[in-house]
Amino acid sequence: MSETIIITVISSSISVISTLLGAFVTQAFNIRNENLKEKKARQKENLEIKRENLYSIYKKLIQVISLFPRQTPLDVLRYMEYSPNYYSENFDIINNILDIQIEDYKKRLSNPKLDYKLEAEYEIEIHNREYYKKEIIYIRDSYFKAKNEYEKFIRNEKIDFELYAGDEVKNKLVIFEVLVHNAFVAGRHLENENGDTNQLDKVRWQLINSIRNDLGIQ
Q: What is the pLDDT of residue 126?
A: 98
Instruction: Give the mean pLDDT per block of 10 residues along the chain (218 residues).
Output: 57 65 70 76 72 89 98 96 94 98 97 94 98 99 99 96 95 98 97 87 98 89
Q: Look up the domain containing 81 and give its range.
A: 2-215
* pLDDT confidence of residue 36: 76
Count up the domains in the chain and report the number. 1
Q: How much is the pLDDT for 11?
A: 61
Q: How many CB atoms are located within 10 Å of the residue 197 CB?
A: 11
Q: Measured between alpha carbons, how far is 102 from 160 in angstroms, rounded to an integer?
A: 50
Position 38 scores a pLDDT of 78
Residue 133: how many CB atoms within 10 A of its CB?
Answer: 18
For CA atoms 164, 165, 167, 171, the dihedral sign is negative
The predicted structure's pLDDT at residue 31: 74
